[in-house]
Amino acid sequence: MANKILIDGVNWFMEPGNPNAGLAFKIQEPLFKKQTPYQLLEIFDTYEFGRLMALDQLIMVTERDEFAYHEMLVHVPLLMHPQPKKALVIGGGDGGTLREIIKHPTIERAVQVEIDFEVVKASQQFFPQLASAYDHPKVELIIADAVIWLQQTTEKFDIVLVDGSDPVGPAAGLFKTSFYRDIKSILNEGGMMVGQVGSPLYNLERCREFMGMLGSIFPFTGFYTVFIPAYPSGCWGFGLGANCELSFECSDEVRYSTFKRTLKYYNTDIHKGAFLLPETIKQAVRGNYATNGIPGRANRERTS
């Protein structure tokens, strides 16, 4: 199915969630289109969601709701960690993840490894509110293949956030077991990682396999969700792996209070509720969950 379609003389951008259903956005004239060395990068101006960035015809961000994804990817793990000082972002070329990380006063260094510099440049031009952290003194941008970079680095981190797209094209390597073993190897004691998994409605088996994989690597795992209207199905999943047992409760109210007025989605109630799952999702990932649905010890018999 073509992603740009004409209905009654009006242009629409459509992303199928599967071959039978998807999301559509009424668009004005395209703002930007470039085939980079890695992927097709497009930016549209929509009537309802503001500017929209797509990579290989998959929606990455829209101006209207990007905050939901970035706030939940970042603040859930960073506020579970007692004092995160060093954070690594893999992917995330739009810059929104970095923007949220540097809100934490404990952060001393934030490194981003992004494979496609064209995404960074396009975000700086068309999404300046997302790319605002690239000039921050605590931030270092590295243009490299993260799969290779992880194998070579000697640096350790408290937090690793995998902000990639679906497991196709340049992001395919971000869903492999060996990749997450390499992530675990660069985490400090008590460190944790979070990666986006996709829609539990359309990709429930991917969620099941992803959590099984994390459970074979990390002693403690959790799965949580966020509501993102511009993503297929509106419900998106994140998988968390940690080197030690954690409480899913928001543990640093003082740090949260320093930046909570800048937030549009995350709060401490959302933090707790995000780990409470609908029965279908909970059953799919229950091998890595306590029976009440909160994060639990990994089941090491499940591997992928």
Question: Annotated active-site positions, please?
Answer: 163
Distance CA 273, CA 232 (A): 21
Strands 21-35 and 40-46: what pairing?
A: antiparallel
Q: What is the DSSP string of 80-145?
A: HSSS--EEEEEE-TTSHHHHHHTTSTT--EEEEEES-HHHHHHHHHH-TTTGGGGG-TTEEEEES-
Distance CA 100, CA 239 (A): 19
- Per DSSP, the three-state class of 40 is strand
Strands 51-55 and 40-46: what pairing?
A: antiparallel
Neighbouring C-beta atoms of residue 134, cutoff 10 Å: 17
- Per DSSP, the three-state class of 205 is helix
Neighbouring C-beta atoms of residue 5, cutoff 10 Å: 12
Nearest to 167 by CA among 215, 141, 199, 193: 199
